[in-house]
Amino acid sequence: MYNEAVGDENLKIPPKTLFSSFDSSWVCPRCQTPKELFVEVMA
């Protein structure tokens, strides 16, 4: 799960990087699911 407040150190994505700013061709590095299939999960 991607947390915009934290970013992703392993992928060199800094904190506060919005998921919406990821390129449309981005895929999950773990499961190769394309960006357009992700949904926002509210805490």
pLDDT digits (tens, 9 = 90+) for 10-20: 999 999 999 99
Joined together, the tokens standing for residue 24 give 């449309």
Percent of the chain with pLDDT over 90: 84
Tell me the residue range of the domain where 11 lies.
Answer: 1-43
Q: What is the mean pLDDT of the chain?
A: 93
Q: Which pLDDT belongs to residue 1?
A: 85
Q: List the CATH number of the domain containing 5.
A: 2.20.28.10
> Residue 42 pLDDT > 90, yes or no?
no
pLDDT (mean) for 8-35 = 95
Count the alpha carbons within 13 Å of 36 in the hemisphere toward its beta carbon. 2
Residue 43 has pLDDT above 70, yes or no: no
Number of domains in the chain: 1
